[in-house]
Amino acid sequence: MFDTIMNCVVLAGLAFVILYLIIRAVRNTLSERVSDTNTVLADATPAEEEKTACCEAPGNVKLIKVDDKTAAMLMAIVADSLNVAPERLHFEYIKLLED
């Protein structure tokens, strides 16, 4: 009986360790993606002609050569990395930078 309980405790401990390592690896991957995204966003300064009235209204984001799905993913990654609710962030525009 005692051996069965010890086996369960050891298996539960191993499961928690494996889960912790997976979460840590995912966080590291996301933080690398966010740092790359932040670099791209920091390098992208919009020209005055690109600023439009749509950027002034809350909830409107100007998408420049970016599809909705990609923009939503970028906004979610940034919000998650900052530990802020997405609705509290304000994005003026998201622009694809071509190499």
Residue 20 backbone phi and psi in degrees, to 5: -60, -45
SS3 state at 49: helix
Q: 93-95 and 62-64: which strand pairing?
A: parallel
CA 20, chain centre distance (Å): 19
- Where do the H-state alpha helices sit in 2-91? 2-43, 68-82
Alpha-carbon distance of 94 to 79, in angstroms, equals 14
Domain of 27, in residue numbers: 2-95
How many separate domains does the chain show?
1
Answer with the residue of higher pLDDT: 67 or 32.
67
Single pTM value for the model: 0.41
- pLDDT tens digits along 6-52: 888 888 888 888 888 888 888 877 776 666 565 555 555 555 444 44
